Amino acid sequence: MPADSIAGSGGEVSATDHLGLIRAVVGRVGTNVVSVVLDTFAKGPVTATVMGGHFAAWWPDESITDESEDQASPGDELSGITVTLSDGTARSLPVAELLRQ
């Protein structure tokens, strides 16, 4: 994996008693990545936790139906990604880069 990149899932949806629907994205980060911000359609920018070569983020999601979830593609909940590198450089990434395996 490139030192300045990320790879991960497209976002899983879960239902909770108190928060309703939540969406989570997890994955790996390159050795130079110290921060990941996901630009979500539902909540705007969401800052992920980055630790030990991995990242994780979750946020309350808008209501979805079985039909809309069946038609969704991985990454549809994101409009972009910004990573910050250990030298302080911020780099915008396309959602497709997150989904590459």
Assess whether pLDDT exceeds 70 at residue 56: yes
Whole-structure pTM value:
0.81
> What mean pLDDT do residues 58-75 have?
57
Taken in order 37, 91, 53, 8, is the CA torsion positive or negative?
Answer: positive
- Work out the mean pLDDT of the chain and round it to a whole number: 82
Residue 39 φ/ψ, nearest 5 degrees: -90, 105
Residue 66 φ/ψ, nearest 5 degrees: -60, -40
> What percent of the chain stands above pLDDT 70?
76
